[in-house]
Amino acid sequence: MIEELRKDFVKNTTQIIVSDTESRVLQSDNNILSIPTGNYLTSVHPFFYTISNLLEEPLDENYFYCVQIENLGKNYFFDIKTKIYRKSGQVALFLIDFTEHYKSVHKIKQARNESIIDFNIAQELNNELQVQRGFKNKFLANVSHEIRTPLNSIVGFIQVLQNTGLNREQLDLVNIVKSSSENLKSIVNDLLDISKIEAGRLEIKNKRFNLHLLLDELVKAHQIQAEEKRITFQFERGESLPRFIVLDRLRLNQVLVNLLDNAIKYTQVGNITFSVTTPSKNRRKIPIVFEVKDTGIGIDAENVTTIFESFTQLEKRGLFGGTGLGLSIVKQLSELMEGKIEVESVKGKGSIFRFTVEAGVSHDQKAEKKLRSRTSKSKESKNSKYRVLLGEDIEVNQLLLMRIFADHPDYSLDIAKNGEHVLKLLDHYKYDLILMDLTMPIMDGFDATARIRNHKNKHISKIPIIALSARCSDEDIEESKEVGMNGYLIKPIDERELFQTMEKLIQRYKRKGQGVS
Ligand code: ADP
């Protein structure tokens, strides 16, 4: 049996040829290739020219791998073993057929090569795309920053102008300028956010905060807007909604503002219902459902997904205004917060936008008490005036802050025109807080802060410092933290945010008696 199998196998896969050293065939079993006796092997394939060289080889037996030979229109791949009989001048050749094996290896190799090429091309395209995207983001960030700086003085001075005893007509005009510049400010902020999100540089910062307070503020602001359009605004707060949750307050606020603004914008008659509920209670993490329901123009079923793409607007541009960025930001923020955004809408009837997100819950009663006592403490200590030092070289900015401070009798403001000047004033007077511009001649805000933090006088070295800057790159914010600043406010300065931040830091500074961290 074995003998038969061996014969069969050899017949199908091996050919034995005996030739002379000139490659003339002396014998052949013709198992695979048919080569008549007396013919030269070199006429079958140039590979066989090697036979004449075998005499020079030191070994009698030699191996050649993967020799491709075409015979009678068929392509073979052989491994060839040669054995030379020097005395008789004869050569034995064993042609072992590995055609199937080499073909599949060849295919795999080719596929691998192609996939390497594909990968390289994809990488090349990806690099190009990244460069383009990087350029776009950089461009957006730079342009937005350039717009932000003059906006700073426009928005700020309008606030000041409003309180200068204007007559009715002047006040109406100022209000128009105010609302346009605020629109512009929010567009610039949206553009900056989109470029940050796309560059993967927007970080979600979860912290504990008072959810009820945030909702009250949102409801108040939107109730006024709704009243102006003569539509009803209802708010429903679920019974078991915790007061303190752990989430990114800033980004949650941004999602809700966008949804509520849209509801008011796209509703002409009827009502808007804002409800916030949670199905579960007494757990460490709970889902919170924020729902904004309107009786507005509604959205076609086919468009409910496209509205989340950047720059998508279903209505004719100009009819409602806007940039088509709001919902794209909402969607991307929702993803970053690991939440979910859903829409139900009927064209002409209204829409429901639902945002669901998991939030950490702090059932810690102590924290609430602490907050209450902190508010009462801050009220107590309000009897004395807070003394603030501003480091700022640009005159319009100095003027703007002086005017803003003029409306806050609990605070007084001194001005230093650069970092060096800040240090000088600190040596002569006692301050509760420093507002520090980052870019200043002679000594900039970073340098000045670093020197303050190394000051030998403990009162000076621990004083709270807030950066005021028109720049909002992560690098600047990071660097300001590294040198020891306690807060970072982006120009145009929001008056309310400025005083809230100052109050918080000064209270913490006074409570600790030795500084803030
Ligand atoms: P914008 O409002 O600036 O155009 P958004 O990204 O916020 O941009 O919204 C995209 C589009 O989705 C809007 O242009 C509008 O056509 C549609 N849309 C958003 N919210 C509503 C809503 N509450 N009712 C009807 N249509 C809406």
**DSSP SS3 for 434:** strand
Over the range 466-502, which residues count as b (16 or more CB within 10 Å of their CB) and which as e? bbbbbbbeeebbebbeebbbbbbbbbbbbbeebbebb
CB 245 within 8 A of CB 323: no
Sheet hosting strand 487-490, strand order edge to edge: 411-416, 386-391, 433-437, 465-469, 487-490
**Using CA positions, which residue lies closest to atom 3 of ligand 1?**
322
Tell me the DSSP string of 102-169: HHHHHHHHHHHHHHHHHHHHHHHHHHHHHHHHHHHHHHHHHHHHHHHHHHHHHHHHHHHHHTS---HH
Number of other CB atoms surrounding residue 126 within 10 Å: 10
105, 127, 135, 138, 147 from 132: Cα distances, Å: 40, 9, 5, 10, 22
CA dist., res. 489 & res. 233, Å (int)? 32
275: tokens are 């409800």
Ligand 1 touching residue 339 (CB < 6 A): no
CA dist., res. 482 & res. 446, Å (int)? 9
* Ligand 1 atom closest to Cα of residue 353: 23
Number of other CB atoms surrounding residue 402 within 10 Å: 13
- What is the Å distance from ligand 1's center to 307 Cα? 7
Number of other CB atoms surrounding residue 9 within 10 Å: 10
CA dist., res. 248 & res. 336, Å (int)? 10
Ligand 1 touching residue 276 (CB < 6 A): no
Give backbone dihedrals phi and psi of 247, rounded to 5 degrees, phi first: -165, 175
- What is the Å distance from ligand 1's center to 6 Cα? 79
- Pick the closest to residue 437 from 472, 469, 474 (CA basis): 469
DSSP letter at 439 equals: -
32, 65, 69, 235 from 13: Cα distances, Å: 8, 15, 14, 85
- What is the Å distance from ligand 1's center to 299 Cα? 9
Which residue out of 262, 271, 316 has the highest number of ligand 1 atoms within 8 Å of its CB and is therefore the one to mutate?
262
Give backbone dihedrals phi and psi of 240, rounded to 5 degrees, phi first: -90, 15
Q: What is the per-residue pLDDT for 377?
A: 46
Q: How far is CA 85 from the centre of its chain?
A: 74
Q: What domains are defined for the chain? A: 2-97 (3.30.450.20), 117-198 (1.10.287.130), 207-361 (3.30.565.10), 378-511 (3.40.50.2300)
> Can you say whether residue 8 is alpha, beta or left, with left for phi > 0 and alpha for psi between -120 and 50 degrees?
alpha
Long-range contacts of residues 498-505, Cβ cutoff 8 Å, at least 24 apart: 498/404, 499/408, 499/411, 501/466, 502/386, 502/388, 502/411, 502/433, 502/435, 502/466, 503/378, 505/433, 505/464, 505/466
Which residue out of 229, 313, 333, 352 has the highest number of ligand 1 atoms within 8 Å of its CB and is therefore the one to mutate?
313
pLDDT in tens, the chain (517 residues): 888 887 777 778 899 999 999 999 999 998 998 889 999 998 888 888 888 888 888 889 998 888 888 887 888 888 899 999 999 999 999 999 988 888 777 777 777 767 777 777 777 777 777 777 677 666 766 776 677 778 877 888 887 787 778 888 888 888 888 877 877 877 787 877 877 787 777 888 898 888 998 999 889 889 888 998 999 999 999 988 999 999 998 899 999 999 999 999 999 999 999 999 998 776 788 999 999 999 999 999 988 888 998 767 776 655 666 777 899 999 999 999 999 999 999 999 999 999 999 999 876 555 555 555 544 444 444 445 889 999 998 877 888 888 788 778 888 888 899 999 999 999 888 899 999 999 888 999 999 999 999 988 888 999 999 999 887 777 788 889 989 999 999 877 888 889 999 999 998 888 776 555 4
Give backbone dihedrals phi and psi of 20, rounded to 5 degrees, phi first: -90, 180
- What is the Å distance from ligand 1's center to 94 Cα? 79
CA dist., res. 368 & res. 361, Å (int)? 13
* Ligand 1 atom closest to Cα of residue 292: 23
Ligand 1 touching residue 350 (CB < 6 A): no
Q: What is the per-residue pLDDT for 516?
A: 55
- Residue whose pair of structure tokens reads 């800033």 in the numeric block: 250
- Pick the closest to residue 464 from 430, 504, 434, 503 (CA basis): 434
358: tokens are 């998991």
Element (H, E) at 421: helix 419-428
The pTM (predicted TM-score) of the whole model is: 0.52
Which residue out of 184, 327, 331 has the highest number of ligand 1 atoms within 8 Å of its CB and is therefore the one to mutate?
327
Evaluate the omega torsion of the peptide bond into residue 279 and state whether it is cis, within 30 degrees of 0.
Answer: no
DSSP letter at 24 equals: B
CB 313 within 8 A of CB 322: yes
